[in-house]
Structure formats: structure tokens, C-alpha cells
Structure 1
């Protein structure tokens, strides 16, 4: 099998809000054509800021530097007309709050048809046909095109958001915690839907979640963010089962294993909260919460280093004979 071509490449991306809120700090990521990359981390670690930065959807107060190469073209230097063409048709986003993303006073069919009419320059009749096809693809009857958002359940609204994301046949979909507001059963249905559509249509996927178990089951590779940086990256199942960074270990341990009474009766948590991005600690930003920190961790920052085949981790213990607990 020939190697996949690179579709998205993020190089040394920095995002700062206001006078000094460093939300994203030197992130490097690559998504190959047809690949599913998961991005994990607690709230406040920079995941959603990174997602919005990919298509320059951040507010004017955000300052960006670095490169975001989509099919080799830098999103950060695109002129407005080109950027408008890339959104929806090149890459699209599924937001986590469908009710807040859909317009409450417009029928869902009209909302799905809007990018089709704009980017494909379709006739109204062709756009209606495309809407019906998209609704069928996501498991909704075409007749639901006349419904308003409040007439649909949470899971149905999320399916509408996915249909909108697929409307112009993008090569990349960014799914920003698409199942957070749904119950467990509906979450599983939506995840299977996304996974099936991505595989069927050969779309690349960047899925963002705080739930490592979801990403391990859905994605090919997994990157873990902490305090605006990627601290671990590798094959999804390996990162979930055998994390090389103490933060990845803690996130994985937060999920009880079915059939393991030890994890059910004595769950392992992670003390404290991610640091304030306006006042980051010196050295490794995770060291104040790390159970295995060394003295040098308080003064020396750690860059990503090789941690096995296709794996990287930003920890001083990587590659030395001091295994993580």
C-alpha cells in the first residue's frame, strides 16, 4: 500500500488572546489523507482554540503565528475570497452544541442547502435533492428537511450538523466534541455514524474530545494536549493503553475498565486543574500535578521526543530506565 499523502500540516502554531493568554503554544500536527486523528485533553488545554484556528474562525482578539497547511496552502495567509472557498468545500467543522449552531428560525433543509447553493452554485431544485441525500446518509428521512431545530431531538440535531459538514464534499472534517451533550446510547450511534461516513467517503477526520476511550475506539492516531501543547502522540490504542507521558497515564486511568474490580472500586483521578494560560509554571507545565516529577521538571521544559515506533512524548522519563507507574 502506498503511503498516504499529507492533507493537513500544522507547524509551530501559537495562539494568544489579549495581553498574554497563551492558549496554543507551538503545536505541530499532521493529518494524512483518509486518516482519523484524535485530540484529547481536559477543558482549557487549547483543543477548541486549535480547531477554530484551522479555518481562522477565532475572534479578532486572537493573534496567530506559525503555519496551517491545508493541501499545501497556508490558511493563515489566505486572502478572504480564497478562505471563504476553502471553508465547507475544503474543510468543515462539526461543533459540539448543535442547538446553538443551528438557526432556530430557519428550517434545517434551508440551512443545509445554504453552503450547497453558495459553493456548488446549484439550482434550488438540485440543492433540495442534495439535502434529501445528505439527510438519508446521516439516518434521517428526507422529509425532515422541513423541520425546525426545536422539533428534533439532540441526536437528530447532531445528525443535521454532520449532514451540513458533508454538504460540499470536504476532504477534512473537524469534529469538536460532537457527542458531549448526548446520552451514552446516542453518543455511540453518532460515533458509529461519523466513523462509517469517514471510511465510506475517504474523508480525513480530526476529532476532539476529553474522552480518551472514545478517541481510542474511533481514531487511528491520538494526540494529547496539555496547557496549549501536544505532550504525547502515537497510535491511538497504544497511547490509551500504554501512555508514555504522566498526563496521558492519568487521563487513561480516569476510565474504569469493564471487568476490572480494582479500577471500579479505587478509581484513579488527577488532582488540581490545568494551569492558567496567563501564568504558566516554569519548566514542564505539568510538573505541579505530576506524581512522578523529578527536580529538573520544575526548571527544564520538555520537548517531544521519540517514544517508540511512530510515538512521541514530552517527558524527561521517556527513554530512561524509570518506567511510569
Structure 2
């Protein structure tokens, strides 16, 4: 059985005529021990999806579908059960560590809080566990007495990872965990996450706008646009041979080492993702698509096979499959 399974997950903000769809019918599966990346530009629904997994969205958000964690639906859980699942079953590493940490509490106390709450540990046992967690993420035990402002950006992100690991969850959701860091520290944090996930047999769902980072870190990769998954498959396959025009545009936006042409003239994509409150008819990507056809304005295509365990939602992919048949 899959550790995490999303079935027709939909998230809207507001209600009635003013309802704004942020996530539109997402289906995803994450196996135990697997690393799944979700890529897309800002405004495509990635963070809304991440927050929906543990029902951390504001009261204005309406959720439907299913979010199955170990076969148990997060959306139908009572508050007490949901509170127990957070941290102990699944935890989240947010992108802004300074905004997530409490500025007036020492980091050791903040890491200890979920241990005391969920594992009913004594203060002495919690302090010992905090020291072990800090060492796991490459920080001296003495930093437990520091306040968040006394740490660098990379150190604060390591603290967030230590907090996420505090109650030994089976799933970690990392939402843009390295966005605010410089390149060298970003590489260190990514290697740290990979190492800890492998050592502790944790499943990872990582969200980023950087396709190259996800391709290097994850087993599988899903590309999200305008609240939907438009491509999904093995990470290197999607990065190297994306079949959806949006997936190709994201991949081409990053220069490749050794490719002089891409370094001198990286290809971008004009325009921005559509406003969720005013989605275009048909394929939501067609106003920006360089290979759009007239039929692209008729309906939003569903995911179809683009190869072994690889899917893409594009009429060009569907036409290619029909020709092969």
C-alpha cells in the first residue's frame, strides 16, 4: 500500500460565485521510502497542495477529494487524531525558517516541544534527543541555547529539518527548503536531506520551482501548472525528455553544464501562469504554449501515457500515442 495517495484533491478559496480554484483534481501516489518532487512556477498551487496535506490551510479554503496517509483519510480525521498525525506521522519543512521559528525562544526548546507533546518524554530525555538531532543535521549541541537570530540562514534551515525529524515521521514535506540560501549552502542542505531520508527510510515530497534540483534529488517528478498535474514520471526522464511543452520550458530555463548554447542563451517562457480566478478555456497553458493548436481551446486534456510510467496532459502526446496504435 502507498504511504501517501491523493485522489481528485481539489482546493478552492472562498465560496459560491467568488470561489477561486487553487488545486484542481490532483491525483498522486508516493510509495514508502520514495522521493517525489513537485515543480512549477509561483502561483501554480504547489504550496497550497503542501499545506493541504496536513490541513494547514486557512478557514477560507474548501477541500474535497481524498488525502490518504497510510490508508487513513486526512480530510475526514477528527481534530485530536489530526493533531497526533502532525509531526509524528508527517511533518513539513517550510521555506522561510526565520518566519517559522519563534524569535523569543531558544532553538533547543522549539525542537523539544513536539518531542514533549507527542512522545510524552521527560525534559531530560527531550534535551538528550535535541542534542542527537542537532548532531544529525550537522550543528553543535551547544547551539541548542541559541536564538534564531543568532544563526545563519543555513543553520536555521538545519534546525527546521531537525524539528521535522523530531518525532520520527514517515513522511517529510519540504516546501522550497533552499530558496533563500546561497548556492553552496543549498547544495549542503539538499545533500543533508537526501542522506537523512535514505538513512531513516523516510518518504519525501519536495516542492520547488527548480526542475534541476528536483531531478537530482527525487525519484519521480510531477510538473504542476494552474492547479493541475500536467506531467509526471521518473525524475531524470521528465527533466531530460519532458513531453509537455510546459515541462520542456521549465527544463530549458536552466543552463546545462557543458552546453555552451544553453549557457549563453537560456530559454525562458514569456508571460505568467493564469489568474486562478480567471482561467482560460480549454488547456490552461495554451495562451503561452509555442505549439498550441485550435483544439487546445476546447478542453483541458487529461494525463495520457508518454512512455513507461511517464504521463503528460497534452494533445500532442495523445496524438503521438494514437499514431503508434
TM range (shorter): over 0.9
Normalized per residue, the structure richer in helix is: 2
DSSP 3-state at the match of 1:188: helix
In the alignment, does 2:7 pair up with 1:8?
no
Distance of 1:35 and 1:17 partners within structure 2: 31
Q: Deviations over 1:37-91 (max 9, x none)?
A: 0000000000000000000000000000000000000000000000000000000
Q: Deviations over 1:244-301 (max 9, x none)?
A: 1000000000001111111122221101000000000000000000000111001121
Distance of 1:247 and 1:173 partners within structure 2: 27
Alignment correspondent of 2:191: 192
Alignment correspondent of 1:175: 174
Q: CA deviation at 1:119?
A: 0.1
Distance of 1:287 and 1:20 partners within structure 2: 23
DSSP 3-state at the match of 1:318: helix
Distance of 2:179 and 2:263 partners within structure 1: 23
Alignment correspondent of 1:164: 163
Distance of 2:174 and 2:320 partners within structure 1: 38
Distance of 1:125 and 1:321 partners within structure 2: 63
DSSP 3-state at the match of 1:112: helix
Distance of 2:39 and 2:61 partners within structure 1: 22
Distance of 1:53 and 1:223 partners within structure 2: 17
Aligned residues: CA RMSD: 0.8
Q: CA deviation at 1:319?
A: 4.3
Distance of 1:150 and 1:286 partners within structure 2: 42
Distance of 1:180 and 1:160 partners within structure 2: 16
Q: How many pairs align?
A: 318
Distance of 2:136 and 2:119 partners within structure 1: 19
DSSP 3-state at the match of 1:287: coil
DSSP 3-state at the match of 1:278: helix
Distance of 2:273 and 2:295 partners within structure 1: 20
Distance of 1:44 and 1:217 partners within structure 2: 23
Distance of 1:226 and 1:321 partners within structure 2: 22
Distance of 2:249 and 2:278 partners within structure 1: 23
Q: Deviations over 1:128-163 (max 9, x none)?
A: 000000000000011110000000000000000000
Distance of 2:117 and 2:194 partners within structure 1: 27
Give the 5 Å matches for 1:73-222.
Answer: 73-222=72-221
Give TM-score, length-normalised by structure 1.
Answer: 0.97
Q: Deviations over 1:187-223 (max 9, x none)?
A: 0000000000000000000000000000000000000
TM superposition outliers: structure 1 runs of 4+ over 4 Å: none
Unaligned runs of 5+ in 2: none
Unaligned runs of 5+ in 1: none
DSSP 3-state at the match of 1:14: strand
Give TM-score, length-normalised by structure 2.
Answer: 0.97
Alignment correspondent of 2:13: 17
Distance of 1:198 and 1:259 partners within structure 2: 30
